[in-house]
Protein backbone atom coordinates (compact mmCIF):
# COMPACT_ATOMS: atom_id res chain seq x y z
CA UNK A 1 0.00 0.00 0.00
CA UNK A 2 1.37 3.37 -1.02
CA UNK A 3 -0.11 5.73 1.57
CA UNK A 4 0.08 9.35 0.44
CA UNK A 5 -0.21 12.41 2.67
CA UNK A 6 -0.05 15.35 0.30
CA UNK A 7 3.34 15.03 -1.40
CA UNK A 8 4.65 12.61 1.23
CA UNK A 9 4.66 8.82 1.22
CA UNK A 10 4.59 6.44 4.19
CA UNK A 11 7.43 3.92 4.49
CA UNK A 12 8.12 1.25 7.08
CA UNK A 13 11.42 -0.33 8.07
CA UNK A 14 10.80 -4.07 8.02
CA UNK A 15 11.14 -5.81 11.37
CA UNK A 16 10.89 -9.34 9.98
CA UNK A 17 12.11 -11.28 6.95
CA UNK A 18 11.92 -11.07 4.04
CA UNK A 19 14.10 -7.97 3.60
CA UNK A 20 14.60 -7.45 7.33
CA UNK A 21 15.78 -3.90 8.05
CA UNK A 22 14.93 -2.54 4.59
CA UNK A 23 12.52 0.31 4.00
CA UNK A 24 9.35 -0.67 2.18
CA UNK A 25 5.63 0.05 2.00
CA UNK A 26 3.15 -1.48 4.45
CA UNK A 27 1.52 -4.73 3.43
CA UNK A 28 0.84 -8.30 4.40
CA UNK A 29 -1.28 -11.37 3.99
CA UNK A 30 -4.96 -11.56 3.18
CA UNK A 31 -6.93 -13.42 5.85
CA UNK A 32 -9.41 -16.11 4.88
CA UNK A 33 -12.67 -14.50 3.74
CA UNK A 34 -11.18 -10.98 3.67
CA UNK A 35 -11.35 -8.90 0.50
CA UNK A 36 -8.18 -7.29 -0.85
CA UNK A 37 -9.02 -3.69 0.03
CA UNK A 38 -10.01 -4.57 3.60
CA UNK A 39 -6.77 -6.55 3.96
CA UNK A 40 -4.67 -3.63 2.70
CA UNK A 41 -6.33 -1.15 5.06
CA UNK A 42 -6.05 -3.57 8.01
CA UNK A 43 -2.35 -4.17 7.38
CA UNK A 44 -1.76 -0.42 7.11
CA UNK A 45 -3.43 0.16 10.49
CA UNK A 46 -1.64 -2.79 12.15
CA UNK A 47 1.81 -1.82 10.90
CA UNK A 48 1.58 1.96 11.25
CA UNK A 49 -1.54 3.13 13.11
CA UNK A 50 -2.60 5.08 10.00
CA UNK A 51 -6.18 5.26 8.70
CA UNK A 52 -6.54 5.84 4.95
CA UNK A 53 -8.90 5.43 2.05
CA UNK A 54 -8.04 3.53 -1.14
CA UNK A 55 -7.55 5.69 -4.21
CA UNK A 56 -6.69 3.20 -6.97
CA UNK A 57 -4.87 0.02 -7.94
CA UNK A 58 -1.24 0.76 -8.81
CA UNK A 59 0.34 -2.56 -9.80
CA UNK A 60 0.11 -6.34 -9.52
CA UNK A 61 3.33 -8.36 -9.30
CA UNK A 62 3.85 -12.10 -9.28
CA UNK A 63 7.04 -13.44 -7.70
CA UNK A 64 7.89 -17.13 -7.97
CA UNK A 65 11.02 -18.62 -6.44
CA UNK A 66 12.00 -22.07 -5.21
CA UNK A 67 10.14 -21.68 -1.89
CA UNK A 68 7.27 -19.26 -2.44
CA UNK A 69 4.76 -17.93 -4.91
CA UNK A 70 3.72 -14.38 -4.02
CA UNK A 71 1.13 -12.18 -5.66
CA UNK A 72 1.72 -8.56 -4.62
CA UNK A 73 -1.15 -6.15 -5.17
CA UNK A 74 -0.22 -2.52 -4.59
CA UNK A 75 -2.89 0.11 -4.00
CA UNK A 76 -2.51 3.86 -3.61
CA UNK A 77 -4.28 5.26 -0.57
CA UNK A 78 -4.81 8.72 0.84
CA UNK A 79 -4.08 9.42 4.50
CA UNK A 80 -7.08 10.27 6.67
CA UNK A 81 -5.75 10.24 10.23
CA UNK A 82 -3.08 9.04 12.61
CA UNK A 83 0.61 9.59 13.10
CA UNK A 84 2.98 6.82 12.01
CA UNK A 85 4.10 4.43 14.71
CA UNK A 86 5.76 1.05 14.26
CA UNK A 87 3.66 -1.97 15.04
CA UNK A 88 3.22 -5.60 14.04
CA UNK A 89 5.90 -6.23 11.34
CA UNK A 90 7.50 -2.76 11.30
CA UNK A 91 10.44 -1.47 13.37
CA UNK A 92 9.93 2.12 12.24
CA UNK A 93 7.28 4.03 10.28
CA UNK A 94 7.36 7.58 8.96
CA UNK A 95 6.41 9.84 6.09
CA UNK A 96 9.09 10.82 3.57
CA UNK A 97 9.00 13.36 0.79
CA UNK A 98 9.26 11.60 -2.57
CA UNK A 99 12.90 12.51 -3.18
CA UNK A 100 13.91 11.02 0.20
CA UNK A 101 11.72 7.96 -0.33
CA UNK A 102 13.26 7.15 -3.71
CA UNK A 103 16.74 7.34 -2.17
CA UNK A 104 15.72 5.27 0.87
CA UNK A 105 14.01 2.35 -0.89
CA UNK A 106 16.50 -0.26 -2.14
CA UNK A 107 14.35 -2.18 -4.65
CA UNK A 108 13.93 -0.69 -8.15
CA UNK A 109 10.46 -2.26 -8.57
CA UNK A 110 9.28 -0.56 -5.37
CA UNK A 111 10.61 2.80 -6.55
CA UNK A 112 8.53 2.29 -9.72
CA UNK A 113 5.42 1.59 -7.61
CA UNK A 114 5.98 4.80 -5.62
CA UNK A 115 6.28 6.84 -8.81
CA UNK A 116 3.18 5.22 -10.36
CA UNK A 117 1.13 5.86 -7.20
CA UNK A 118 1.78 9.59 -7.53
CA UNK A 119 1.46 9.38 -11.36
- Residues belonging to the active site: 92
The C-alpha atoms of residue 119 and residue 27 are separated, in whole angstroms, by 20
**Host H or E run for residue 86:** none
> CB under 8 Å, gap of 24 or more: what pairs does 110-117 form?
110/24, 110/25, 112/59, 113/2, 113/25, 113/58, 113/59, 113/74, 114/2, 114/9, 114/25, 116/58, 116/59, 117/2, 117/4, 117/9, 117/58, 117/74, 117/76
Amino acid sequence: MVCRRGEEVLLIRRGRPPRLGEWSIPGGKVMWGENLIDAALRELAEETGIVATISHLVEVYEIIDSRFHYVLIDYAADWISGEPRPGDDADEARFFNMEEALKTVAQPDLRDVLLKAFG
